[in-house]
Structure 1
Amino acid sequence: MRKSISLVIFLALCMTAFAQTNTMSDYIALKKKNGRHVGVYFPGSPIGFLHVSGQRIDGYVDAVRNDSVFIRQWNIQSYITTLGTSKVDTVGYYIHKLHYTEIRSIYPDKKESWKFVKNGSIFMIGGAGYALLNVINGAYLDEPLSDPDNMKSLGIALGVAAGGFVLNRIYHKKEKEGKKYVITYVKMTTPQ
């Protein structure tokens, strides 16, 4: 009997020693208008957003409390060494304190691969560059611009550039803002 009571007391002490009391932090949630979860930003997570003043801020969430978000933004600059070469170093950091409603739009965390193809910029550059090179070479070699072979290659080049322009216009906007998304503050701590 004595062993079982001491075991219960020991287990109770262990449970209270490892209990997490009020260690959860508040966080910012990004949701669609229908309530569907898109992203969450808590202390330590990277965030990139556009302030209501138009300033782009990239950094790490330092703290979230009392409806405020603290963002740590690093100041990285290059400088010239004594040997005349340049070196990049972290000079310091800034902590931006702002209310969560001052965030106009949040940029996604993940890096997008092949973005230059998806937004059509490579097609616009390639098509317009080939068309310009074709016109310059035709003028240099005294070939007529209205030659059927020349018109065919010019048409293809300008078609590729036009396709890139269309891709650029229909490329979906990556900012999470406006009528489709809502930035909400989720309070996890209890008032003290």
Structure 2
Amino acid sequence: MLLLFLLFLSLGSLVAQTGFPHGPTTSRDYIIFKKRYKTIRNYFAGSYINFRLNTGQWVEGSVVQIARDSMWMKDQRIQLIGTGFGSKIDTVTFGYRRLALSEIDAMPKEGESWGFIKNGLLFKIAGAAYIGLNVVNGLGKNADPLFGSENLPKLLTAAGVYAFGTVLGWAYKPEFRIGKKYRIQYVAM
């Protein structure tokens, strides 16, 4: 009787570790994220995935099972939280979700460096700060006129830097859009 009870407990923990509500899976199918004919990343059952749905919602979590044109995933967030003794990594699970692979609209660019320059934020801050500083300095008694012949080229340069940052912000895309160039392919094993 004790042996049967221990067997029941071990099977229960095995089902709990798989994360799939219907028990352990043996699916070896996987999906490939490709740029034309080059593989960027493979996703298997147990992989952590992050993507945007065609509704605009970003979803992240662990892949539980992949079958035909669908994927079952555990919707979860892994985040760093502060505690009284420092910080720790916490995982919040929201439940399970079944998605069709055709619902995936975009994948994030991972390891993107210098994003604050590529999205134009630094140029916008620099341009606005210089214009603000120039206006504040121009409020004094002995200051040059704000739109005088000496000060106007400086203001126009700062406005140009701000406009350049705005154009960079419009052009910068922090994700790979699924379409002609990028695609997701299902592989059956």
**What TM-score do the two structures reach when normalised by structure 2?**
0.68
CA offset at residue 39 of structure 1?
Answer: 2.4
Query: Would you identify which runs of 4 or more consecutive aligned residues in structure 1 move more than 6 Å?
Result: 76-79
Which structure is larger by alpha-carbon Rg, 1 or 2?
Answer: 1
User: How many residues are aligned here?
Assistant: 161
User: Identity of aligned pairs, percent?
Assistant: 41
Which residue number corresponds to residue 10 of structure 1?
none
- Determine helix, strand or coil for the equivalent of 1:158: helix
Q: 2:66 matched to 1:30?
A: no
Residues 111-161 of structure 1 show CA distances to partners (whole Å, capped at 9, x for unaligned) of 312100122111012102211231233135464113333223212212221
Gaps of 5+ in 2: 1-25
User: Structure 1: which amino acid aligns with 2:132?
Assistant: L
Aligned to 1:96: 97
- CA distance in 1: counterparts of 2:173 and 2:78, whole angstroms: 31
Give the structure 1 partner of residue 10 of structure 2: none
Match of 1:159 in 2: 160
In structure 2, what is the equivalent of residue 19 of structure 1?
A: none
Partner AA of 1:47 in structure 2: I
C-alpha root-mean-square deviation of aligned residues, in Å? 3.2
2:147 match: secondary structure: coil
What SS does the aligned partner of 2:179 have? coil
Aligned-partner SS, 2:176: coil
Question: Which residue number in structure 2 is paired with residue 49 of structure 1?
Answer: 51
Spell out the pairing of 1:28-177 with structure 2 (5 A cutoff). 28-32=31-35, 34-74=36-76, 90=91, 92-108=93-109, 110-141=110-141, 143-172=144-173, 174-177=175-178
Q: In the alignment, residue 27 of structure 1 is paired with which amino acid?
A: Y
Contact preservation (8 Å) 2:105, 2:178: yes
More off after superposition, 95-104 vs 134-143? 134-143
Instruction: Answer whether contact 1:47 1:107 (CA < 8 A) is retained.
Output: no
Structure 1 stretches lacking a partner, 5+ long: 1-22
TM score, norm. by length of structure 1: 0.67
